[in-house]
Amino acid sequence: MNPNNTRTISKPLFPETSFQAPNKMGTFNKEKIIEILSDATKQNSIQTLRQKIYELSDQVAAFSADKMGVWNIGSNGDTVRLNQKYLMDDLKQIAESQTLERCKYYLKRLIKGISEHKTSRVNDINLNRWKEYPEIITDSLWILDKRDSSGVHTAGYWGNFIPQIPYQMIQRYTKRDEWVLDTFAGCGTTLIETQRLGRNGIGIELQGKVVETANSLINSEPNKYNTFNKAYQGDSAKIDYKSILKQHNIKTVQLLIMHPPYFDIIKFSDNPNDLSNAKTVDEFLSKMKNIVERATEFLEKGRYFVLVIGDKYSKGEWIPLGFLTMQEVLKTGFTLKSIIVKNFEDTSAKRNQKELWRYRAIVGGFYIFKHEYIFVFKKEAI
């Protein structure tokens, strides 16, 4: 409260410790914020308008948010989300405006951003408040120094990808309650993320033991949105996708993720249908093309297909497995939307031999692999 309007807005309105403040979620929601802001737009003097904004700032600063500074508010179960820091920045901008007209312009813009949840066809990102998603990566070079190990995620399955990959793709390319298919589910990283993010996930994995691990991990992760997430045992080249989808009364999925073996870099099993047992690069590519053709039939038009794959080195030659596989996908009619280059850290075995690898690289005239690719394709609507 500031009866004399003497407070200077340049003083930090956003206390560093405010995330620890008591949670008043029940009494302060989207409607309440809009009501206060609308009231402010009716003020005829800049002083009284600022006064309203200061009062609101005090309430906002007292809120507790999650560790990202995000509140998921909204009384009727809607998915409005407000970022405490960005809301404080907006309030500061309004209060610091020099004219009443400018204050009202920013106020109306803020009201629109909070009241209208404007999204694209393929995700739930509120385009009116797009700045509030700093965690969404939009660059094509990803240097991620740590695997997300929260919840039930584990680095235990050799060859699994970091949860940030499905997390980013699910946020960008699906809406709440939509369906994701992962044809090389492994220990279920994608399916754990679909569950956490309120999407449904179906995974196909060749090895029975790995399927069991995936499903037990999924079952031990809280399912607060009550979605369906399960790994099925089967060969992605043969499994009856149609009947699996039919069990859930769906004909298509809205996102397809594939993280196949990188040919024979890791031999996952002795099963001849395992892509890591392909005898040649050509055989690997032809098997991949077959799986792509079979699975993409069940991807909704206008939606996205994400392929995660790296290259390999064989007999003194760099095999551009990523680009070769990308070419196979392009032959099936997809549009290439992005090629993301993502770093990966050495396995502990390689880390222990770092010096030796450097020596080998210098002698052999090659570079040590430090990256893999995330290819993003779109199935065009026509």
Ligand X SMILES: C[S@@+](CC[C@H](N)C(=O)[O-])C[C@H]1O[C@@H](n2cnc3c(N)ncnc32)[C@H](O)[C@@H]1O
Among residues 161 and 334, whose Cβ is nearest to ligand X? Answer: 161
- The answer to whether residue 184 forms part of the interface with ligand X (CB under 6 A) is yes
Give CA angle at 183 (181, 189), nearest 5°. 75
Contact map string, positions 237 to 256, toward ligand X, x by CB under 6 A: x-------------------
Least Å distance, CB 173 to ligand X, is 16
- Residue number of the CB closest to ligand X reads 186
- The answer to whether residue 201 forms part of the interface with ligand X (CB under 6 A) is no
Long-range residue pairs from 277-281, CB within 8 A, at least 24 positions apart, any chain: 281/319, 281/321, 281/324
Least Å distance, CB 144 to ligand X, is 14
Among residues 73 and 169, whose Cβ is nearest to ligand X? Answer: 169
276 secondary structure, DSSP code: G
Among residues 124 and 148, whose Cβ is nearest to ligand X? Answer: 148
Among residues 206, 218, 295, 306, the one that binds ligand X under rule CB under 6 A: 206
Among residues 84, 171, 236, 296, the one that binds ligand X under rule CB under 6 A: 236
Binding segment for ligand X (CB under 6 A), chosen from 114-122, 147-155, 156-164, 343-351, is 156-164
Q: Which of 100, 105, 2 is nearest to 45 (CA)?
A: 100
Among residues 29, 38, 93, 207, the one that binds ligand X under rule CB under 6 A: 207
Among residues 63 and 375, whose Cβ is nearest to ligand X? Answer: 375
Residues 6+ away with beta carbon under 8 Å from 92: 9, 13, 57
Among residues 82 and 256, whose Cβ is nearest to ligand X? Answer: 256
Among residues 177 and 235, whose Cβ is nearest to ligand X? Answer: 235
Among residues 178 and 274, whose Cβ is nearest to ligand X? Answer: 274
Distance in angstroms (rounded) separating the CA atoms of residues 185 and 112? 41
Least Å distance, CB 357 to ligand X, is 22
Site for ligand X in 265-324 (CB under 6 A): 268-269, 273-276
Cα-based torsion angle of the residue sequence 139, 140, 142, 148 in order, rounded to the nearest 10 degrees: 80
Name the token pair of 3: 């009866």
Among residues 63 and 284, whose Cβ is nearest to ligand X? Answer: 284
Least Å distance, CB 269 to ligand X, is 6
131 secondary structure, DSSP code: G
Backbone region of residue 269 per phi and psi (left: phi > 0; alpha: psi in -120 to 50; beta: other values): beta
Judge residue 48's burial from the number of C-beta atoms within 10 Å of its C-beta, 0-12 exposed, 13-18 middle, 19 or more buried. Answer: middle
Binding segment for ligand X (CB under 6 A), chosen from 14-22, 66-74, 154-162, 315-323, is 154-162
- The answer to whether residue 186 forms part of the interface with ligand X (CB under 6 A) is yes
- The answer to whether residue 181 forms part of the interface with ligand X (CB under 6 A) is no
141 secondary structure, DSSP code: E
Least Å distance, CB 347 to ligand X, is 13
Contact map string, positions 103 to 142, toward ligand X, x by CB under 6 A: ----------------------------------------
Q: Which of 79, 251, 312 is nearest to 176 (CA)?
A: 79
Name the token pair of 113: 């951003």
User: Strands (DSSP E) along 146-298, which ranges?
Assistant: 179-182, 200-205, 229-233, 253-258
Which amino acid would we find at residue 158? W
Q: Which of 140, 202, 174 is nearest to 374 (CA)?
A: 140
5 secondary structure, DSSP code: -
- The answer to whether residue 160 forms part of the interface with ligand X (CB under 6 A) is yes
Pairing state between β 70-72 and 81-83: antiparallel
**Residue 117 in contact with residue 132, Cβ under 8 Å?**
no
- The answer to whether residue 41 forms part of the interface with ligand X (CB under 6 A) is no
- The answer to whether residue 357 forms part of the interface with ligand X (CB under 6 A) is no
Among residues 204, 217, 307, 374, the one that binds ligand X under rule CB under 6 A: 204
**Residue 56 in contact with residue 91, Cβ under 8 Å?**
yes
The footprint of ligand X (CB under 6 A) covers 157, 159-161, 184, 186-187, 189, 204-207, 210, 235-237, 259-261, 268-269, 273-276
